Structure 1
Amino acid sequence: MEIKSRAKINITLDVLNKREDGYHNVKMIMQTVDLYDVLHLEKIENGIEIKTNLPYLPTDEKNIAYKAAQLFFNTLDINDAGIKINIQKNIPVAAGLAGGSTNAAAVLIAMNKMFKTSLNTDQLMQMGKKLGADVPYCILGGTALAEGIGDILTLLPPMPTAIVVLAKPPISVSTAHIYGKLKVENITMRPDTEAIINAIYNQDIIAIARGMYNVLEAVTAKEYRVINRIKNIMLGSGALGSIMSGSGPTVFGIFEHEVSARKAVNKLRTIASDIFVVNTYNSNYGER
């Protein structure tokens, strides 16, 4: 089976407080975009085999796709089969785009079909939660409000189709490091999540783009000035709005017109190592 494993962006990201277990309670609007890895899965007699086009990625139990396959077999008590997974990575690694989480989600979705186990979306998301906070959303896909640690999901109406420019500078950012630097009590600006949800219901792309906000951006941008440089280029090229995705370092801009998007791309080439022009992608799990 071949399956596409799509990236996500954060339209909003608010951190409410730190929990006793070390995680943070968040409130954020997530959106799938049409940038994807391609996974090819094949049944084998036993074991789990991972191959990838990136030589520096682990292919053992350190790879989250491996962990997903192992969890699937263990949860469903499947002992007489194995799986070979070939991952063609296109989503940048450690970029704030859920590249690993979406691979894990794709493995669970594909294996559920290949092994005819008939798990529903909620069951797959509960399984995915054991792998990481973003995995349940990556299983669901589309436009959604994420709460709790990111695992309590409310599906929203599809966001209006928009042109999205993604730009990742040549740095990698640790999510744990950024959350470790965040002082929740010092947050003075937060996204108006409810206003964005209303704008989504009204299909108002201008209000959505102008209201986007990510509280982690100030933390990451303090350490990496390139974040604001990319944002300024996006906005100066005609983006309706521009923010960092997740804990970074990828910055995205929402554009109404292809010409403006291409203008931004040309200006970003000197400071970004990975640049993509994509569209929002609105099919959720039930429609794939």
Structure 2
Amino acid sequence: MKLMMKAPAKINLTLDVLYKREDGYHEVEMIMTTVDLADRIELEPLRTDEIRIISHNRFVPDDSRNLAYQAARLLKERYHIRSGVAISIEKLIPVAAGLAGGSSDAAAALKGLNQLWGLGLSLDELAKLGAEIGSDVSFCVYGGTALAKGRGEQIQRLPAPPNCWVVLAKPTIGVSTAEVYKNLKLERLKHPDTAAMKQAIETQNYESMCAHIGNVLESVTLKLHPEVAQIKEQMERFGADAVLMSGSGPTVFGLIQHDSRMHRVYNGLRGFCDQVYAVRLLGDGNPVA
């Protein structure tokens, strides 16, 4: 029996860093939502007691560095599973892009293996396990839209935002999240209004949603990587309704309501960037397959 799962990308509508915690992590507050750009995960039982990662993308690790591998190992150890699994990852989300591709793969593995191994765990239980793997994994287990606090593992689910196009553009660079946080000047941050964004989503106010996007990590990444700032400027120039960097970058996204403008932004960015995508917001929760 093979099981197919989708692992959707996420974008940050807001990302705020409040302070550095005693455990070394940063206390964050952010609103995330999933978009219709997804990796495809195939789970196949093995007769041997091993975890095998299969991917044709050279940037995807096939060992214990892979978050989907870590998800399988966690379930095997926690619930004494003696059977093995092959996890095939068809990578459509750009790697190291600020779109939580690895975290979403781990969440898909958790949910799929819960079915494959008959564990009967709830989404809440899977999200709690996900927090042990990575900060974004809990959110990716639920999918949809949510306000995340703590390290990102405290999840308050929200309704779907007003529907629109999302144009994503990723320059051909990698960004180190650790380096971005290391260079963050907490005392100089201009904090986004997370409460106003939450209200905009709850009242389905597209204009207010566009007015209140914000990401404090831009203050670092745009200085370290001028090409990210250039893509942001181009996206604004081509007419996106709102433009923001997702996560620690380097992917920049634009929110656009009208089809004709979406095509103009998408086609304009193709001249600046190889990796450009036009997708929709997913709305409520993740599709399974």
**Residue 89 of structure 2 is aligned to residue 95 of structure 1:** no
Runs of 4+ in 1 over 4 A off after TM superposition: 285-288
Superposition deviation, residue 55 in structure 1: 2.3
Q: Is the CA contact 1:237–1:261 (under 8 Å) kept in the aligned structure 2?
A: no
Q: 1:160 aligns with which of 159, 162, 169?
A: 162
Change (3 A) 1:286 1:95: closer
Q: Confirm or deny that 1:59 pairs with 2:99.
A: no
State how far apart, in whole Å, the 2-side matches of 1:286 and 1:280 are. Answer: 12
**1:34 corresponds to:** 36
User: Alignment partner of 2:159: what SS?
Assistant: coil
- 1:178, 1:129 → 2: CA distance? 21
Equivalents in 1 of 2:155, 2:89: separation in Å? 27
Show the counterpart of 1:71: 74
Q: Normalising by structure 1, what TM-score? A: 0.96
Q: Is the 8 A contact 1:96 1:247 kept in 2?
A: yes
Q: Deviations along 1:221-276, whole A, 9 cap, x unmatched?
A: 00111222212222222211000000000000000112111111222123223110
The match for 1:215 is 216
Deviations 1:104-141 (Å, cap 9, x if unpaired)?
00000000011111100111011111100000000011
Which deviates more, 258-267 or 159-168? 258-267
**Take 1:97 and 1:277, find their aligned partners in 2: how far apart are those partners?**
14
Partner of 2:260: 259
Structure 1 residues 186 and 263, CA gap change in structure 2 (3 angstroms): same
The letter for the 1-side match of 2:124 is D
Q: State the SS of the aligned residue for 2:228.
A: helix
Amino acid at match of 1:229: Q
Q: Distance in 1 between matches of 2:58 and 2:181?
A: 28
What fraction of aligned residue pairs are identical, expressed as a percent?
A: 44
Aligned to 1:273: 274
Distance 2:147 2:58 in 1: 35
Deviations 1:45-101 (A, max 9, x none): 12111101202322111111111111111111112x100011000100110000100
List runs of 5+ in structure 1 lacking aligned partners.
none
User: CA separation in 1, counterparts of 2:77 and 2:286?
Assistant: 23
Alignment length, in residue pairs?
286
The normalised TM-score by structure 2 is: 0.96
Find the aligned partners of 2:15 and 2:248 in 1 and give their Cα distance: 9
Q: Is the 8 A contact 2:39 2:91 kept in 1?
A: yes
Structure 2 residue runs of 5 or longer lacking an equivalent are none
3-state DSSP of counterpart to 1:16: strand
